[in-house]
Amino acid sequence: MEALKKNPGWKGRRGPVVLVIMDGVGYGKYTEGDAVADSKMNHLEGILSKSPHTRLKAHGKAVGLPSDADMGNSEVGHNAMGCGRVFSQGAALVSASIESGALFQGQVWKEIVANPGRGASAGSSENAAVQGGPALHFIGLFSDGNVHSHLDHLKAMIVRAKKDGVKKVRVHILFDGRDVGETSALEYVDPFEDFLKEQNTDGFDARIASGGGRMWITMDRYGADWTMVERGWKTHVLGEARQFSTAREAVETYRKEIPGVIDQDLKEFVIAENGSPIGTINDGDSVVYFNFRGDRSLEITAAFEEDRFDKFDRKRRPKVVYAGMMEYDGDLHVPRRYLVNPPAIDRTAGEYLAATGVRTLAISETQKYGHVTYFFNGNRTGKFNEELEVYEEIKSDVVPFEQRPWMKCAEITDRVLEALASEKFDFIRINYPNGDMVGHTGVYQAVVCAMEAMDLQLGRLAAAVDRAGGIMVITADHGNSDDMYEHGKNGEVLRKEDGSPRAKTSHSLNPVPCIIYDPEYKGEYKNAPLDASLNEGLGISSIAATCIALLGYMPPEDYDKAVLKLKYSLTI
């Protein structure tokens, strides 16, 4: 990797460039339900009033998703910001692979449906494609949110499995309620049951076997709460959970027993007949984890694949052919088998900065730590340079986010203020998770609290940047807290039977801010006044070139255009 070239007309400031990612904070489209606009964010407004600023696209094709109807998400958002260019992302790659048939022609799919004896005991010829033999299991997020998974991918694989001779399929469903409506589970369960009935001919037997809410079982990330994964293991693999005759019965029962519960928090269940679970995972079975996004896929994958595993007692570990939808960690090559190749992301901003000798701090709390490291670095685990880079994780509280909406933004800021005072870093990147993690709860008051708590920290941070003589770039990876109510086609708020607004827990399609706070500005920017000096109509992939330029270097020529124009720049 070559070092970046210096900009002959701009050497940067005496202090560092600080990139602040306000996760899940956009510009709302509607007056009602915009918790960002409803919050008293005096510090952010003060910064905005004296800084160049614009709006950036953070969804759809601007971040590599199939269409502009697709919400942005934290994974692809941090990929785009850290990589400086737009790569086709998981959803698009999987859809294309299924459409072309490449997924089903690959060696891994062939092993899943036809390779005899891979996971079974020695000498066994059982496999998922044998009549009366082991089952093919699918585990994953059960929605069409297209952030972690898509039901169309699952359906296509079930159809193809039948065609390829599989006789028994069991589906383990993780209810969403974050990337889709918060209580929309049955809108997916009922049509899917109809789909399975249509497929269940000629000896083919496909059924829902177990499930639960995505924030209760299976889909933990960054080691925040391994008990989620343990509950998922007991449910999907061992069949140890409350028994029901159908998924609908499970949903309806839990909703009656737990007033106000939303899909992501639904308790675990198994489908049983005559007191026995119909879909435990056993020796000789095949398992596909059909989420394409990596962060909430690594821990359940570890439970299936790792020989030395100490996070919980698995009780038994079935010998299976296990595959992920994609490779979830390109450095560690996890999982061992995967169906679709991930985007080949190279030459990230972090790699360029390390090659140039730029001293970097990346910091967030557990919930977003991997985003300012792994995803920002193009789905790469580890550092580019151990001497130049420091990655710090502030441990998240393991409680529902609406109960601690301030999360760890103060602790993150405490550490960044120490870093600024130390003069040890040239580039600092921060993620404040509040707008996203609390936004997903759908609790409006908590989101307002989260925004105002974060704003207090922005005020502290701005004052420290002033003292250090640095520059602060404030942006976001996607919207969320800016769109907290469900709206109809005409923009009207949709309401529950009691007249209260229907909460929206998914991301928004709204643009996000890009604010360049430069307290030591001396007229270096082109085309005063300041707010007239920005390139418009860009996406968040422009953040990489922007930060590189503000550090005093020339962005790579193929990087997306920087937001800010500087004098004497050769490429922006």
Here the CATH number for the domain that contains residue 389 is 3.40.720.10
77 shares its domain with 100: no
Do 228 and 294 belong to one domain? yes
Task: Report the number of distinct structural domains present in the chain.
Answer: 2
Question: Residue 489: pLDDT band by 50, 70, 90 thresholds?
Answer: confident
Same domain, 385 and 511: yes
Residues 6+ apart with CB under 8 A from 308: none
Domain identity same for 122 and 240: yes
The runs of H, that is alpha helices, within 86-150 are 90-100, 102-105, 107-114
> What is the dihedral angle through the alpha carbons of 175, 179, 182, 186, rounded to the nearest 10 degrees?
-50
Residues 501 and 408 reside in one and the same domain: yes
User: So what's the pLDDT on residue 130?
Assistant: 43
Query: Do 83 and 115 have their domain in common?
Result: no
Q: Check whether the bond before 335 is cis (ω within 30° of 0).
A: yes
Q: What is the CATH number of the domain that holds 219?
A: 3.40.1450.10
Q: What is the pLDDT of residue 450?
A: 98
What is the H or E stretch that residue 516 is in?
strand 512-517
Distance between CA atoms of residues 361 and 424, nearest Å: 9
Q: Indicate if 68 and 116 belong to the same structural domain.
A: no
Reported as a single tens digit per residue, the pLDDT across 223-275 is: 889 999 999 999 999 999 999 999 999 999 999 999 999 999 999 999 999 99
**Domain boundary residue, one of 340, 355, 380:** 340
Residue 280 has pLDDT above 90, yes or no: yes
Q: What is the pLDDT of residues 107-161, one digit of tens each?
A: 999 999 974 333 333 333 344 554 346 899 999 999 999 989 999 999 999 999 9
% of the chain surpassing 90 pLDDT: 80
What does the mean pLDDT of the chain come to?
Answer: 91
- Residue-level pLDDT at 567: 61
Instruction: For 255-266, write each residue's pLDDT tens digit.
Output: 999 999 999 999
Does residue 564 contact residue 533 with C-beta atoms inside 8 Å?
Answer: yes
What's the pLDDT band for 525 if we cut at 50, 70, 90?
low
Active site residues: 74
Asked if pLDDT for residue 164 goes beyond 60, the answer is yes
Lowest mean pLDDT among 44-58, 107-121, 469-483: 107-121
355: amino acid identity, one letter: A
More confident residue, 29 or 294: 29
What distance in Å separates the CA atoms of residue 90 and residue 340, rounded to the nearest whole number? 9
Considering the entire predicted model, what is its pTM?
Answer: 0.75
Q: Hey, which residues does 474 pair with through a beta bridge?
A: 20, 515
Give domain status of residue 556, yes or no: no
Q: Are 480 and 489 in contact (CB under 8 A)?
A: no
CA dihedral 65, 68, 74, 79 (to 10 degrees): 50
**Boundaries of domain holding 431:** 17-89+344-550
Cα separations in angstroms, 123 against 110, 118, 127:
20, 10, 12
Residues 187 and 296 in one domain: yes
Judging by DSSP bridges, how do beta strands 53-56 and 471-475 pair with one another? Answer: unpaired
565 part of a folded domain: no
Confidence of residue 529 (pLDDT cuts 50, 70, 90): very low
By the 8 A CB rule, do 559 and 570 touch? no
168 and 232 together in one domain: yes
Same domain, 399 and 419: yes
The answer to which of 108-122, 174-188, 324-338 has the lowest mean pLDDT is 108-122
The predicted pLDDT at position 528 comes to 43
Q: Is the pLDDT of residue 72 over 90?
A: no
Distance between CA atoms of 501 and 512, rounded to whole angstroms?
A: 24
d(CA 471, CA 515): 10
Mean pLDDT along residues 545-566 = 92
